[in-house]
Structure 1
Amino acid sequence: MAKDSTIFRGFLISYIVILIIPSIAGYMSYRTSISVTQSISIENSVTQLQKSQQMLERRMAEVEGFTRQLALNQDLYVLMNEKKPASNENVYGIWKIMKEVMVFGQTNDFLKNYYIYLHNYNVVLTPGSAYFRPEHYYENAHYRDMSLQDWQTNILGRTHSREMMPLTPFITNGGETSVISYLQSLPLDSFGDEAPATVVILIDQKTVASLLTGVRERYGGWTYVSDSEGHAISTQGIEPAAIDAMNSDAGFDEGKQSQFFGDDLVITIRSDSNGWVYRAGIPRDVLMKNANVIKSITWTVTGAALVIGLGIGWVLSRRNSAPIHRLLGMMREQFGKEAPAGTNAYDFLQGNISSMITNSRWLETELERQLPLIRDAFLKRLLAGEFQSREEIHAAAEQADLDDTPTCGYVGILRIHGYAGMESVEVLHELNTARLLLKQNLRELLPHILLTDLSSDRVVAIVTIEDEASGKAGLAQMMEPFVASMFGEYKISIDGAFGSFFTSEMEVSRSYEQAKETMSHAEYWQRKGFFWHDDIRQESATYYYPLEMELRLISTIRAGEAEEAKRIMRSVIQQNTEQRELSPEMAGQLIVEVKGTLLKLLDQKTIMESPHFEAVKERILAVALHDSIPGMEAELLDISETLCGMIVSKKQDLHSQTVEQIKQYIAAHYSDAELTLYRIAEQVERPEKYISTLFKDVTGTNLSDHLENVRMDQAAELLKRSSVTVDEIAASVGYNSSHSFRRAFKRVTGVSPSVYRQSFQ
């Protein structure tokens, strides 16, 4: 408070003003009386319901344990698996089993009424009797709405596994009651239509209801228990019709813990273990009984609220002023100056933040100013053929803020005629103006054209055109009136040359070289106008295979881009067969050069390790001039595609090895809480962004999700096979916080760690 205390006082005063508003105190006093009454009643009811739930689930667990003990009883196992003698029953074995299981009903009222049906003997065993004909047992005890045939088919003749029948009317010894039935076939892993034995435990509704009397004794009202499918288990104080009406009412939310329905406050809890629903209804008049008592202490509560509010206001003032103090400290540290005298902290922050925004805008302006330079550099690299793959071109285009890269069209060189050999300052200024006018009018004519300066009197244009045949004619028709308008309006005379049609970003440099060749041809013959590379006659007797095209072919194959490699190979063959007439000696020399290029690629380790190395080498050496041109072209294209396939296959193997190395490292170090993407990247000696993208591409899963899944799998094993606490498990699988571990476990598995462990216990 000694330093910058005005900020703290400003927060504190605002909280005090809010606290002393008298209308809020009066309103809240009454609302508190209602809220407290409801919350106490809800809390007590929930507690009582939870106790009843725990008791009922414990008793049901004992019922399940009883069936498991029967499954482990050796005498019963022998009895239910032996073949029935032809002449008499195994009376002694049956009597022994009855004697062994009678003791359970004496200690557990849930086990007072049960029977065991042995299929091989067709006998029903109860705690006090043995019925060698099931019809006799049915005459003494049976479900009211189930015939003998249905009972024998659905209960005795089927396999059951921890099956629970809902509340059903049951007649025994001439009297009627309602029971829930627990059915289990023996052995426990029985399957099929019939099991050797079936255990049926009949639990009287009154026995279940006795566990829920705590709620009714305290508040009156009613209680209701149903299974996960909505079938009634126990009802007290309410009719089934009222329950059905409540559940079918659109305004009743079955998932809400407490809500008013009619004149009752309905409390609902749901068991996580078996999905049973426990509900209790508290009459509204009982709920409001203590409201008047609470109203009498309203003023006391209001006074206490003021005191507590002052304390909370002081704490909040300290907490809310702390970030501003830290921000001030950071500003002083970064800018190395204190707030001027006579200004408060907010003015100091405003001034520095304003300066930061100004600097940021200046940087943004500088970047925008340099954007044309970046774009011009990109176009010059594209024309020079410096890019080795489409991905590299697209990345550079995005950096230059170009939405689309030219995929097909023409490259042309436009020359401002009449300035050759003139280098004075005035002429250069005039040329600059002429170039600007030329580019401005070209952009108006062709909005998607890309332009860059080649020299003081020349401009390179990349024109995107979809169709080669119609595009060339259309471009020629547009250029004629354009040239006339430039001369008529600005007295600027223009001529130019265009290369052949390119069909890929990687062929732009080839079209540019052809445009330069065409321009040189026009200058040599002192011709004016526009010329196309396809129209000039190749008078050279040498073959066309420049170094830059060879390097581009090599880099494309090394990148594994088969289609681009075949396009370059076709271009080489087309240039030397369709546009040139080579002598046999020159054609043979060209074939030797192309074979040499392909043989250079065989020195690459990736290809040398391939099992197809020798076969590809023999195919390259076998290419000869005496073959037909189409056949030779098809063979060279197929060899190029094969080389690309070998490289791509090797890259995929390397990627899989890297991913497997990442998985092994995670499997060995998942318990390290400091295991991060940086640590993993450091281990495999790759950039973080690279391994993250690579892992996603190969496995289809994010690297962070894989690490979390590995940790959850290990945690699940520990929960199943050990008795260590959840906190210890969280620490052992790399979590510093058990709370974070619990949230992650539930997100991955759908259940909490404790529920997961209980499901296996």
Structure 2
Amino acid sequence: MKQQSGSKRLSTFARYVVSYMLVLLLALSALFLYMYVYMNREVRAQVISNGINRLSRIAYQHEGYLDNMLNTAEQIGLSPYLQPFSYRDEPWRAYELMQQLVPYTVSNDFSDQMYLCFASDDYLYSSSSMMTLDMFSALMHYEHVSGAELMRLIRQPGGLCVLPAQKVASSLLGSDQYDMTTFIIPLGMSQKSERGSMLFLLRQNTYQQLFSDAIAMNANTCILHDGAILASSGELPLSAEELTSLLAGNEATMQREFVSGGVPYTLLALGNRSWGMQYVMLMPSSELTGNVWHSMGGVLMMIAALAVAGSVLSYLLARRNIRPIREISSLLPQDESRGDEWSSIQTGIQELSRRNSDLTRRLESSLPMQRHDFVLRFMKGRFDSRELAVAAATSVRLDIDKPYYGMVLCPEQEQNDQPFTMQEEPLNRVTGVTVCSVEMAAMNNFLYVVFADTEQGLHDVANALHQICIERYGHACVAMSNAHQNFTHAPACYLEAATAYDNRFVMDDSRVLEYSFVSVNLRDILPQARKITDGINQALVLNNRALLSGKLDELLAFLKHSSMTPFAFRLIYNDVIHTLLREHAANVADSSDMKDMYDIFSLSGCQSVDDLDELLRRLCDAILQAEKPVPTEETGGIEEVAAYIREHYADPELSISAIAEAFGVSTARLSLSFKERNRVSPNEYLAILRVERSKQLLTETELSIKEIAVNVGYYDASSFIRRFKQITGVTPLQYRRSKEDTNHGNDA
């Protein structure tokens, strides 16, 4: 059995290894194919470019030699010192002519032999010998040119005449035959004179030296003139006629592929050259392929290295991934009939799916309880965004993603201890709404949270509930809030419904009690209360309990001297507490305790301003005590920076760069660490200190605004006034007058 279990593990491990190796093989194959295509294109382009360059170099050198021969014939034909003569009439001039040909022979290093023939003479002259034309034609045996034809061409060349490479036997050349190329050039050809001609004989080894670069490339190179092969580096796979047909229409540079004798070739040609010369290079395609594979050597070595590394990595990954498979398989009941570990896991997944279906059916039965929990959490404002609320509602199969929502309260009746459902008349006729209900046992009423596509949908649900209560119990007390859109305002929405419900004894219950019927004027009170809230925030940021206590006392005194109902106090405190929770809950180690300390029910249970003040003080104390711990190695330094700012805040030269220089750190590091510890930057901390000190001077002294600005570290009053208003919402003068009015009111 152990051997069978080991084979199963090996089978699963082998699957992983084979899978990874296949992926590696595909990746390396794709890499190889890409590199081959790339290298084939690049190497081919490079080889062709090199071939064209070599042809250009051959053409340049050959045309240079040809120009040298033409220049020699031109100079001799135009020289006043080399005048035509007849040897029979003036034999003594022959020696002078031979002496004059010596420098031309020496400078002409391209041709093997050079002869001069005057039109009025029957002799050929060189720098070392002379002979008659008849003797020369008798001694020179050309393979394809007869002696008479050779004499005619020498006598009347009619322009540049080229005898392509052919076998030539002559005692003048030695005992062997040579492949020779012959050039016959008229004297003074540019002047179209008929003074005579020059004869240049070139051996093929001269051209072989010219073709040496092409020979190194394993390419056949040849020069064509008037459809004949002037010279070639070796045996060509094509005849002169076939080459001429391939080059038909060639004007400059040509590249063409062709097959000869079953062997593919690449043809490179340069045409339209001087004197009608064409330079051709024939390269076997196998040569290009060989260059490609030679260039691929490094790539193949790299791919081989990647293959080895990939194989090792595949083995290690397979070992790593097989471990959790084996752990999961070991947790399942051992059953040999299941096959290998994969089969065991698949069987286990099927079993888990079956159990999950059973669990789903059980959860269906607990869906009302989950919806009850969702309604309570929504009403307490536990969702920080619409998206979170919608996601939570979707998990309990509620569609609340609608533009409007509101809350409706109905009293609990002895005849009915369950909320009404949407299947009852006339609720079932209301469309475009989603209604969630919960029993408020402590308050003896039912709460309905209504989500609707329109505001009218909220009123339709409230009116339907009112109608049901009238029909069943003969009386009804149905209260509803205003329509809301922001889900984070759910606690205020509940307070509105509770306020309308609290006014049921002084209002007519013949219709739905709407919050809009309750007259609470908070337009002038809320802005002032929010200014005080900003001061509370600043005290929390400064971690100053004395300042915090003063701000709370200021808020309490303000509310006690304002004529408001208990609901107005609750609404203001709800706004203050909600703001503190939103801005400070993220900065403490565990914000869940604060959220549990405050909910909408504890707020609605407060019956006096003192009760509300006690709730707010406990919350602020929790914020101060629950701050996230800061690393001890940075806390001391940041505290020293804060103390330094408190000591030097009145210095107008104090800035973050000056503070950073004083403590030997960068401004970026100082700002980041300080803000992480105190939740405000050093500049903001300095501004808050200066404003708090200026408030004290505004209320306790009669200094002018400009004098106070100088005392708290500002160069001019305008900067001070702008900063003061930015933090407090009022100018320094308005703040002083408001404090004076408050003191007069307290005295009265």
Q: Which has the larger radius of gyration?
A: 2
TM-score normalised by length of structure 2: 0.32
TM-score normalised by length of structure 1: 0.32
